[in-house]
Structure 1
Amino acid sequence: MSIIQTLRALGPIDTRGVRRDGLLSWMIVIPMIGALVLRWGLPPLTARLIERYAFDLTLYYPALLAYFFVVMTPVIFGTVIGFLLLDEKDDQTLIALQVTPLSTNQYLAYRIAIPVVLTSVMILVIFPLSGLSALPLTHILIIGIVAAPLAPLFALYLAAFAQNKVQGFALIKLSGIVLLLPTFAFFIQSPWELAFGLLPTYWLMKVYWLLESGQSDVWMYVLVALIYQSVGIGALVRRFDAVMHR
């Protein structure tokens, strides 16, 4: 089957799956809602903190946006796709797919491509929508490209290690600290900052911080981010494939 045929076959099924699940349909718009909340709420809060405590929150905007936009946007789309995969496991749809013209590789390619595209597009939307960053469109595009692989990585993580949505929610809670930890690298101005590089989300955040600070020499970090996440996706694809064929 071609890419278009795969999209035509699975796209409507995914759309129905998201629509019938109120949580998933709500999650898709969370990044835009978050961008608007920050746009309207953060400047008044910043002004209040300066007025009362002489504390300038704008200095820490990059840390906040790195977490809420660069990390949480792909995680949200990864969660949506991951839960669709868990539903298909419960309904044994994945077993049925094995006797259709759609190969396992085509199915997984579709599952990886969709959250990548959705994340890239959403990153391009929420940065201008928030009005909190002056990054040019080309830099936002780089951030979107770097952040996008985290979505299928997180989706496959849920599908490979959770048996159902209840376990999926538990894994999301356990992942919270891992997703948040690299944010603290923003406050460390020493080589020890690289210790956070053990976590893939650090490299995404670092690319954004460098671009936000006006530095253009980010390609090493972009390359590491993409390679790190690609290796993780490859490992989780093998794990998921093994789970599917048990």
Structure 2
Amino acid sequence: MFRTILKSELKNVKRDKMYIFFALFPVILALLGYFLIPYIEGQVQPGNPAPQIVAMFLILMTGYIFGAVTAFTLLDDKDDNVLMSLKITPISVRLYVIVKLSISYIFGFIATLLLTLVTNFLPDATFWEVLLIAAVGALQAPAIALIVNSFSKNKVEGFVIMKLSGLILMVPVLVFFIQSWQEVFLILAPGFWPGRMIHISMIESGLVPQVDINFTFIVYFIIGVIYNILFLTLLMKLHNKKANI
């Protein structure tokens, strides 16, 4: 089933130029960051976190992009009555949706991992640290897909919701300025957890100044995984109720 749905997803991407653009966008982000970060570093004073903020934004953006692709393919399925048709087949509609979300996560994970390694945004981070950052950061892909489909009925509404959900990407930027207990105001944003992990890696590399942090890198990873899974479970229930599946 996974292979069948994957082939269907790839056909949808090839069929629509918008999807092709979204799918290639991580490559564009990598090229942009590769040249933009050094340029910004040459334009700002030492200690200015602007280059690192842009780097974090680009790393977290990759999962968001594949979430957007999956969101609109699910809206296509809704418009084409694919989900309704599946109800009379042996295939579980919920399993179908879960597989599509899983595909978005896998592609988001691979893209985040490759972008971080190729661009060397985190120069002193170990491969395993980058792997954990990608694992948590890519969870934004199914989250964005579910948010868009839970609160929109068609592609027009989907575009609006997607743009509004893009504000979530701005929250992790605040980790550069929020310390200690103040981060409690950011923990509800899924991107906060990988954002703080990226921030810690940058601190260890000497790219940004040391600040008071509540937990270690691995603890943020564990809490981030647990929180995002709970968040996705809530969104999945909301989506199933909305889609009547």
1:156 maps to which of 143, 146, 151: 146
Q: Which residue of 2 aligns with 1:46?
A: 41
Equivalent position SS for 1:146: helix
User: Contact 1:46–1:57 at 8 Å: present in 2 too?
Assistant: no
Alpha-carbon distance in structure 1 between the residues aligned to 2:63 and 2:117: 17
Partner secondary structure for residue 159 of structure 2: helix
Name 1:13's counterpart in structure 2. 8
Residue in structure 2 matched with residue 168 of structure 1 by the alignment: 158
Residues 7 and 110 in structure 1, CA contact (< 8 A), matched pair in contact too: yes
**Corresponding residue number in structure 1 for 2:219:** 220
Q: Quick one: structure 1 residues 185 and 131, their matched pair in 2 at CA, closer, same or farther if it must change by over 3 Å?
A: closer
1:73 aligns with 2:62: yes
Hey, what's the Cα distance between the residues in 2 that align with 1:137 and 1:121? Answer: 13
Alpha-carbon contact 1:160-1:236 (below 8 Å) kept: yes
Alignment of 1:166-205 (within 5 A): 166-205=156-195
- For residue 9 of structure 2, give the secondary structure of its aligned residue in structure 1: helix
Alpha-carbon distance change, 43 to 94 in structure 1, aligned in 2, over 3 angstroms: same
Question: Residue 98 and residue 183 in structure 1: after superposition, are their counterparts in 2 closer, same or farther (change >3 A)?
Answer: same
How far residue 114 of structure 1 moved from its aligned partner, in angstroms, is 0.6
The residue number in structure 1 matching 2:240 is 241
Deviations 1:126-164 (A, max 9, x none): 012213321221111010111121111110111111111
Aligned partner of 1:104 among 93, 102, 116:
93
Percent identity between matched residues is: 27
Q: Secondary structure at the match of 1:200?
A: coil
Query: By how many angstroms is 1:199 displaced?
Result: 1.8
Q: Distance in 2 between matches of 1:73 and 1:29?
A: 10
Task: Give CA-to-partner distance per residue, 1:173-223, whole Å, 9 cap, x none.
Answer: 222323213312212334313311132211120111112322993222112
Partner of 2:210: none
**Unmatched 5+ residue regions in structure 1?**
1-5
AA paired with 2:29? G
Q: Tell whether 2:134 aligns with 1:147.
A: no
SS of equivalent residue, structure 2 residue 72? helix
* Per-residue CA distance 1:30-50 (angstroms, 9 max, x = gap): 112111112123213422x25
> Contact 2:172/2:196 (CA < 8 Å) preserved in 1?
no
- The residue type equivalent to 1:63 in the other structure is I
CA distance in 2, matches of 1:184, 1:22: 34
TM-score (norm 1): 0.87
3-state SS, counterpart of residue 79 of structure 1: helix
Contact 1:31/1:69, CA 8 A, preserved across alignment: no
Distance across 1 between alignment mates of 2:173 and 2:120: 21
1:146 maps to a residue whose letter is: V
Amino acid in structure 2 at the alignment position of 1:28: A
Q: Which runs of 5 or more structure 2 residues have no equivalent in the other structure?
A: 206-214
Amino acid paired to 1:163: K
How far has the Cα of 1:112 moved from its partner?
2.2
User: Would the aligned equivalents of 2:13 and 2:19 in 1 still touch at CA under 8 Å?
Assistant: yes
Output the amino acid matched with 2:241.
A
Aligned to 2:109: 120
Distance in 2 (alpha carbons) for counterparts of 1:57 and 1:36: 24
TM-score normalised over the length of structure 2: 0.88
Does structure 2 conserve the Cα–Cα contact (< 8 Å) formed by 1:146 and 1:226?
A: yes
Partner of 1:34: 29
